[in-house]
């Protein structure tokens, strides 16, 4: 019986290793570099993540200090890029609700909501807790072409990412249990697992979200910009339905920002610069309510600031002879994140949207 179990385990390992070799065949080099480029393109240039964590690389002395708590096997995996045996990790079958932190520096890496059973023998996730909380590196060791994943703050080796995961990302982040520390949802986490700044969110609709997102992503103090949909009558809308104008949603950009660097009023001013607020239910050649100019306040405070801002703009020389069409919609509405292909569109594909000229219509 023991011999049969051993043979089964060897067969499983052969299938897994064979699949890795197949992935490293001709043409996969380009695919690997494309994946690194696209995933890294989501990360921006700020040293803070949208979750409010400082991602400034730790010094070698600090990493050495943190590494002193590791046992020999953890050090082999985390510091020397080792791999734990398949089906042996302590977190493989963990079904609890909570967060997975970096074993070395406690940066939150993954959430239980993104964990799935891949059958590969290692803990698997379809997306990180925050796009910036993973660093991607080309790995050509062991005769294979893979994408290694590291902690961006302490450079701890985590595992690899593959393009054979489930929806919505199609990715499989393959982790070593030894690289992770699990904490229940309500458990107190170490100091390194707590955000360094308190962020706020703003929501603006100003025509095609590709251009609005691209513009806001370049504003100092903006930590993240995401394309999505708000203001409609259906849940979990898809682009194919929204673009037909029947769902009532507007193409909207969610902005996560540091209020100590850029204020909500300053973001409103940028919003009026990045699109034409005098055009009703359109932006340039894009026509329909899905392209309307709208502000979705997160709370009453933002609503009051937005009302005062538009009132002041209406009296300014810039808009004195024009009518501002921007709508201030209800507070606390749900933001539905758009499909992955619409995120960071200009960063992935190049191009940009010109700042519009003011005109009525």
Q: Is the distance from CB of 352 to CB of 217 less than 8 angstroms?
A: no
Q: Is the pLDDT of residue 360 over 60?
A: no
Query: What's the rounded Cα separation, in Å, for the pair 204 and 297?
Result: 9
Q: Is the pLDDT of residue 289 over 50?
A: yes
User: Is 174 in the active site?
Assistant: yes
| pLDDT band per the 50, 70, 90 thresholds, residue 16 | very low
For 32-193, CATH gives 2.170.150.20
| pLDDT band per the 50, 70, 90 thresholds, residue 341 | confident
- CB atoms under 10 Å from CB of 297, counted, come to 21
Which of residues 144 and 205 earns the better pLDDT score?
205
Give the pTM.
Answer: 0.73
> Can you give the residue ranges of every domain in the chain?
32-193, 200-349
User: Is 353 in the active site?
Assistant: no
| pLDDT band per the 50, 70, 90 thresholds, residue 344 | confident
Which of residues 12 and 194 earns the better pLDDT score?
194
Q: Is the pLDDT of residue 279 over 60?
A: yes
Kindly name the residue from 102, 105, 154, 208 that is annotated as catalytic. 208
Q: Is the pLDDT of residue 193 over 60?
A: yes
Q: Is the pLDDT of residue 29 over 80?
A: no
Query: What's the rounded Cα separation, in Å, for the pair 251 and 231?
Result: 9
Q: What CA–CA distances, in Å, run from 8 to 13, 15, 18, 93?
A: 9, 11, 15, 19
DSSP string, 160-191: EEES---TTTT-EEEE-GGGEEEEETTS---G
Please return the burial class of 48, using the count of CB atoms within 10 Å of its CB with bins 0-12, 13-18 and 19+. buried
pLDDT of 168: 85
- Torsion angle, alpha carbons of 341, 347, 352, 355, to 10: 100
For 200-349, CATH gives 3.30.1060.10
Kindly name the residue from 154, 174, 243, 353 that is annotated as catalytic. 174
Q: Is the pLDDT of residue 24 over 50?
A: no
**pLDDT tens for each residue of 225-261:** 999 999 999 999 999 999 888 899 999 999 999 999 9
- Say which residue the tokens 């939150």 belong to: 108
**pLDDT tens for each residue of 150-183:** 999 999 999 999 999 998 899 999 999 999 999 9
């Amino acid at each position: 019986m023991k011999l049969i179990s051993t043979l089964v385990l060897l067969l499983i390992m052969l299938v897994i290793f064979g699949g890795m070799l197949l992935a490293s065949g001709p043409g996969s080099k380009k695919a690997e570099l494309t994946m690194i480029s696209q995933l890294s393109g989501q990360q921006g240039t700020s040293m803070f993540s949208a979750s409010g964590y400082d991602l400034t690389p730790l010094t070698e002395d600090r990493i050495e200090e943190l590494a002193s708590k590791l046992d020999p096997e953890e050090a082999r995996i985390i510091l020397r890029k080792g791999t734990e045996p398949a089906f042996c990790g302590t977190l493989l079958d963990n079904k609890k609700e909570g967060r997975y932190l970096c074993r070395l520096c406690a940066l939150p890496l993954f959430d239980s909501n993104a964990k799935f059973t891949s059958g590969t023998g290692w803990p698997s996730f379809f997306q990180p807790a925050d796009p910036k909380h993973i660093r991607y590196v080309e790995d050509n060791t062991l005769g294979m072409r893979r994408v290694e994943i590291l902690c961006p703050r302490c450079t701890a080796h985590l595992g690899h990412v593959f393009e054979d995961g489930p929806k919505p990302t199609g990715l499989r982040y393959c982790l070593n249990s030894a690289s992770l520390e699990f904490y229940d949802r309500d458990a107190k986490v170490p100091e390194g697992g707590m955000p360094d700044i308190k962020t706020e969110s703003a929501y603006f609709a100003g025509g095609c979200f590709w251009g609005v997102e691209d513009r806001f992503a370049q504003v100092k103090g903006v930590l993240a910009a995401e394309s999505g949909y708000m203001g409609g009558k259906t849940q979990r809308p898809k682009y194919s339905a929204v673009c037909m104008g029947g769902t009532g949603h507007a193409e909207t950009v969610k902005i996560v920002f540091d209020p100590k660097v850029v204020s909500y009023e300053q973001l409103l001013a940028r919003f009026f610069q990045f699109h034409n607020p005098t055009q009703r239910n359109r932006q340039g050649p894009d026509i329909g309510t899905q392209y309307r100019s709208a502000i979705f306040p997160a709370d009453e405070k933002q609503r009051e600031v937005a009302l005062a801002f538009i009132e002041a703009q209406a009296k300014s020389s810039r808009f004195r002879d024009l009518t501002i069409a921007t709508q201030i919609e209800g507070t606390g509405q749900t933001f539905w994140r758009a499909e992955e292909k619409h995120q960071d569109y200009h960063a992935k594909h190049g191009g940009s949207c010109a700042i519009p000229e003011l005109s009525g219509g």
